[in-house]
Each structure stands twice: as C-alpha cells, then as structure tokens.
Amino acid sequence: MKQTFTFILLCLFHTNLFSNPKDCPNTSPVPLSVTNGNTYDLSDHLVYFTASPSLHSVAEVSHQFQTTALQKSNGVIPNFGNTDKQYWFCFVIHNDENESKQIITYIKYPLLDDVKFFALRESGEISENQQGRRFPFENRDIDYRGFSFATDLLTKETVTYFVGVKTDSSMSVPLMVAEEKNFYTFVSFDTLLQGIFFGIVGVMSIYNLFVYFMVRDKAYIFYVLYLLISAILFQFSLQGLLPVLFFPNSPEFVYNSHNLLYFLFLFTCFPMSITFMNLKENAPLIYKWFLALATIPIISICLLPFLPYRLMNQAGDIFSFLLAFFALFVSYYIAFVKKFPPARFYFSGYLMVIVGGLATVLRYMGFFPVNAFTENSFQVGMAIEVLLMAFGLGDRISVVRKEKDKIQFKAEINKQKLIAYGRELKLAQKLQESTLPQILPKFPGLVIKTGYFPASLVGGDFYDISVFGKHQICCLIADVTGHGVPAAIEAAMLKIAYMQTLAFANKPGKVLESINVSLAGNYKNQFLTASAIFIDLELKQLKVANAGHPALYKFNENSTSIEVIRPKGKLIGYSKEVHYPEEVHKLSPGDKILLFTDGIWDLWENGDSDSGEEELLDWLLVRKKESVEALYGGIDGHIRLRNKEGPADDDITFILFEIT
C-alpha cells in the first residue's frame, strides 16, 4: 500500500512538472516553422523573474514560475546592466513540422559567468546543461563563442525551456533559436566577420611594427602596443574568443583576465594619444593631465586582486565613459584650434571608437537596448579607427619631421654648427641630385643637352625630361625661390608632385595646374617659377605653358632674331585656382630651343649693359648656326669662366634641344 501511494505521488509530481502547459505561464508556444530557415529572436516570447539567492534545481525554478510575479520582455532583448541577481527565463517551442528537428538555443552575449539550460519534454525527460565563462568550454554543446544548448524535437512535440543566467559583468541575454543547419550558417558568418576584423587589425599591427623599425619613431610602437592590447587581446576577451582559441580549460583565467585587459586597454590609450597628438609640444598642460590620468588604470590593475570583479568592472566602464569625452575634446582642440593636421585623423578615428564604445558601455550599463548596432558598433568603430590612425600616423610623422628639420636647421645656423651643417648639406646634395634625371632620354630626331650649376653645395633649381607617349617629350624646368637646403627639399616636393602629375596630365598647362594644386599652401610663403613644354616630333609642334618663369628661346640658323616665347601665368603656390594658358608653335628641322633659370642672365651682364638678357640674346644670335653641342660648350665654358671670378649669386640650369 505504501509503495502504491508513493508511485501515485511521483506520477502527480511528474504530471504537474512536465506535462502542465502552464509550466511557462503568460506565454504561448513558438511554432518551429516561424524560424523560416533563419535564426529567430525569442525576445517576443520570454517571461522571466529575478532570483536572489540563486536557484539551481528545475523543481525550484518551476515552482517560482508558478508562484512569482513574472515579467515579459515584449520583443525587447533583455538587458539589465551590471547586477548581481540571477535571472530565469522561460519559453516554449513546438515542433509543428512533420519531421524531427535538432534545434540550437543560444545566447550571443559571451560575458555571462553561469548559464543553466533546462528542457522539459512532454515525456517527462529533462535535459540540462550548465556552462558559462566560469565553466570549461567543453560544457557547451557547440563550439561557439556564445552559449548554446542543443535539443532534438520530435514531430509535434512541445518543449518548455528554462534558462538561468548570472554574471559579474553586465547582464545582457539575447536568446535565439535556430535549426542546426541554420545555426551553423550563422556561426560561419559570425566567424567570417570576426576574421575580417582581426585580419584588419593584425595586418595594420604588423605593418606599423615594420614602419617603427624603419623610422624608429616611438609613436608607431605605442600605436602597435595599443592595437595589440585594445583591438586584439581585449577584443578576444570581449567577444568570448579567449576560451574558443586559447584557454578552453582555464575558465578562471579567462574570467580574471577580462578586467586586466580592460585596464591595460585604457592605459595604452595614453602613450598613444600623447605621442600621436604631440601633446608635449602642442599642449603642455593637457600633457600633464594625461600623465596624471594614466596612473588610474595602473592603480586599478594593482587593486584587481583585492577588490571584487564587479566593482572593478563598473569602475572601468565609468572611467572609459569619461575618458572618451575628454579625449574627444582634446583631439578637437589640437586638430582645429592648434591646427595640428594629424590630430584630425585622431579626432575622426577616435570619434568612431567613441560612438561604438559609448554604445557598448551604455548597453553594458543597461541604458541602451541590445540590437545589431550596440552589439557590433565598438568593433566596427575600432576597425575604422585603425585605418584612420594609420593615415594619421603617416601624416604626423611627416609634419613632426618637417617641424624638427626646421627647428634643427635654425638652431644649427644660430649656433654655427658647421660640421653638422656640412653633413646636412651633403645629405641634401644627395637628395637634390636624386631629383634630377641621371640619364637623358634618347629620342630619334631630337638632341638634348643639359647643364646644372648650383650656387652652393646644393641648389633649388629643378628640371626633368620624360618621354610622353610614342612621339612626345615632356620637359619641366623650375626655380624655387632661394637656394641651399630648403630649396632642395622644396625641389624634392616638386619632383613628387610632378611625377604624380604625369600619370594623367597630357598638356603643359595641365602639368602646371596639377603641380600648383598639389603644392599651393605647402610652401609657407615660398613660391616657384616653372615652364613646361611638350615637343611632338610627329606633328612638329611645341606646346608651352609658363608659371612666371623666364621665357624660352627658339631659333635656327636662318633666324634674324631670337624668338622669345613666354605665355602668361602666375607663380606656382600663389593660389590653388590658377589657369595656365598654352601657346603652340611649329617646329622645323634645325630649330633649337633653350630653356633656363634666371641665374644665367647674371653671368651675361657686363659694365656696358644692365640687361643680361639682351646680352644673352645677342650672344645666341651670333652663334645661331652652331650645332647644339657647340652651343652647349660655349654656354658651359662661359659659366665656368665667370664662376672663377666669384661664386654665382643664384643657381643656374639650362636645357638645349635641337630638332634634327
């Protein structure tokens, strides 16, 4: 009799616990067909309650769902901020299809410490699983960075699910369900996106590390350190990838390393920001503030073993929230008030991180809902920041180096450091020599001769002769104001702008316009004159454009006078919006063309005339029948003879062409 009574009680308990459709009150079953081959958000079908202290058995949980006032999620993904409570969720899934299905219930958020899954079948069978950040990775039914629970649903079967979660981080519970094949499709796509992010960050880290070894600028090594900690290691922890990839059997290490990486990430922001924006020079007071604030993450790291995880995590959230606004204000000040160009990249990149980071932090705090934006904005913002920072670093190095060169150059002159100045001159000489053509192009029907005489060890004159197409020669001659090291550096800048221009400019006027657009505003009250010509040997045409440069001379053995060709045009660097008109002249065999910089006129001046130009024209007219080689020898000899009498005041460059 006693055994019979016990059996009846067990049957009643079995019936009440597992077969009662009201095990999950205030919610209706989710037909499996609604997933429609996709992952399905369960937030429209969840009821939940909070438990303190935590519940562990299915009987306790079922009893609470029957007796406790429940809340409904009403289509909003549950997000409770940082809380020490345990939350239990309930939902029901009905297989309304004509075949058995394996479904995966999963939570996308990877920072939950303790996750319990219970599945109550109509047959009375109970499936359960306990996993979480503080449990071995092998507890998870699927190798996934979130938390997953696999269940087989028979045809027409209805299963009630209880899911309990607790964490010392923020509480976010994006519960989803999908058929097995659809879940793996989702995981594959998620893995692809993570791979793209870490691929971008990894490549940029390696690239900037190589750049550091080449230029030895500490800004690069601080940036690489920032990428390694914040964009790789901290993101590994934040995205739940540490147990997946590295520490599947070390849950406590994974758990404790999160706050450590969090504060290391915050710390690396400071040296990177200080060097990137050059705060020591641009804003000394803010530089001191940054140094003081940098001690907070260090102190926090020292306190990690002694203070609760939750308290330190909340402190990190608050500090990062305040730091984000402060850094944004500082970068705006440096970029737009102090007008330090690299800080504009920092401002733009950091703005992306701040938008994403604040969305994430406010989601963690429970102020923002869980959605695709708040889940992914931090990673997307950081990926954009990585790319913008790379551009900004390059710009910063360029700006800082130019400023350092100017300061060093002035200091060396003021202190008369002749040895250092001599070395710099030799280096500048190599730089300047590298901008000039080493080998002149050989072109049928054209003879070319060039001469170059700098007034000092290095000069500011520049010329280049390039083959353009099958029948054209493009020639540019320019004179940077002044001479010496600054003029040579500016000539190097001109060389870069000119080589970029040749890729698309097919007329001399376009060449000058493109160079002007590239260089205007970069010379700091320095200007240059230039003349560009295109010689078309097939059409026997000479196209000329001029930017305030001395005229070119055209003549042959039958000339009664030297033809002076000088189209109108303003100096390069005067204004970006300048048009350079062109002149077209016919060419004949025997025609000679002379291009030069104005230094040559000084050497033709004599006591009887104030005009070196007139003397040069007369000199050329007398020798109009000579070959281009003979003319070259005459000009070269005259220049060398005059230079023996005393150094020239200006650089001298000349180019001779003869149509054969």
Query: Residue 531 is part of a domain; what is its CATH number?
Result: 3.60.40.10
What confidence tens digit (pLDDT) does each residue in 464-523 have?
Answer: 998 888 889 999 999 877 666 677 777 778 888 888 888 788 899 999 998 888 887 766
State mean pLDDT over 269-286. 87
Is the pLDDT at 17 greater than 50, yes or no? no
Helices (H), 304-371: 309-332, 342-364
């004949």: which residue's tokens? 588
State mean pLDDT over 254-281. 90
Residue 201 falls inside a structural domain:
no
Same domain, 272 and 171: no
pLDDT of residue 193: 86
Same domain, 524 and 612: yes
State the Cα–Cα distance between residues 128 and 163, nearest whole angstrom. Answer: 10
Tell me the CA distances in angstroms from 307 to 147, 250, 448, one per residue in order.
28, 21, 81
Same domain, 316 and 456: no
Same domain, 341 and 465: no
Split into its structural domains, the chain has a count of 3
State mean pLDDT over 373-399. 66
pLDDT of residue 375: 64
Same domain, 175 and 252: no
Confidence of residue 294 (pLDDT cuts 50, 70, 90): very high
Where residue 162 sits, what CATH number does that domain have? 2.60.40.2380
Is the pLDDT at 411 greater than 70, yes or no? no
Is the pLDDT at 657 greater than 80, yes or no? yes
pLDDT of residue 321: 81
Residue 636 falls inside a structural domain:
yes
Same domain, 448 and 391: no
State the Cα–Cα distance between residues 153 and 309, nearest whole angstrom. Answer: 39
With 0.85 as the threshold, say if the pTM is over it: no
State mean pLDDT over 301-305. 94
187 or 420: which leads in pLDDT: 187
Q: Cis (ω within 30 of 0) for the bond into 342? A: no
**Residue 443 DSSP label:** B
Is the pLDDT at 419 greater than 90, yes or no? no
Is the pLDDT at 119 greater than 50, yes or no? yes
pLDDT of residue 194: 86
458 or 656: which leads in pLDDT: 656
Confidence of residue 397 (pLDDT cuts 50, 70, 90): low
Same domain, 391 and 436: no
420 or 12: which leads in pLDDT: 420
Is the pLDDT at 138 greater than 80, yes or no? yes
pLDDT of residue 136: 93
Indicate the range of 206-220, 301-315, 452-466, 599-613 predicted with least confidence: 599-613
Residue 145 falls inside a structural domain:
yes
Is the pLDDT at 525 greater than 70, yes or no? no
Strands 114-120 and 170-172: unpaired
What's the mean per-residue pLDDT of the chain? 83
Same domain, 617 and 512: yes
Indicate the range of 284-293, 371-380, 575-584 predicted with least confidence: 371-380
Residue 209 falls inside a structural domain:
no
Closest CA to 530 of 474, 576, 463: 463
% of the chain exceeding 90 in pLDDT? 32
Residue 412 falls inside a structural domain:
no
Closest CA to 482 of 451, 450, 525: 525
What confidence tens digit (pLDDT) does each residue in 66-105 have?
Answer: 888 899 988 888 888 888 899 999 999 999 888 888 999 9
What confidence tens digit (pLDDT) does each residue in 20-54 have?
Answer: 546 788 888 999 888 887 889 898 899 999 998 88
pLDDT of residue 393: 60
Is the pLDDT at 122 greater than 70, yes or no? yes
pLDDT of residue 14: 39
Residue 208 falls inside a structural domain:
no
Confidence of residue 389 (pLDDT cuts 50, 70, 90): low
State the Cα–Cα distance between residues 418 and 133, nearest whole angstrom. Answer: 66
State the Cα–Cα distance between residues 14 and 124, nearest whole angstrom. Answer: 7
Is the pLDDT at 617 greater than 70, yes or no? yes
Q: Which residues pair with 554 in a beta bridge?
A: 563, 593
337 or 411: which leads in pLDDT: 337
Is the pLDDT at 374 greater than 90, yes or no? no
Same domain, 366 and 513: no
Same domain, 317 and 361: yes
Residue 3 falls inside a structural domain:
no
What confidence tens digit (pLDDT) does each residue in 427-478 have?
Answer: 666 767 777 888 888 888 899 999 988 877 677 788 999 888 888 999 999 9
Residues 6+ apart with CB under 8 A from 280: 274, 287
Residue 6 falls inside a structural domain:
no
Q: Which residues pair with 264 in a beta bridge?
A: none
Indicate the range of 7-21, 175-189, 376-390, 467-481 predicted with least confidence: 7-21
Is the pLDDT at 423 greater than 80, yes or no? no
Same domain, 222 and 139: no
> Is the Cβ–Cβ distance between 283 and 338 less than 8 Å?
yes
Q: Which of 140, 170, 185 is the last residue of a domain?
A: 185
State the Cα–Cα distance between residues 638 and 636, nearest whole angstrom. Answer: 6
Name the residue range of residue 175's domain.
16-185
Same domain, 403 and 457: no
State mean pLDDT over 317-335. 85
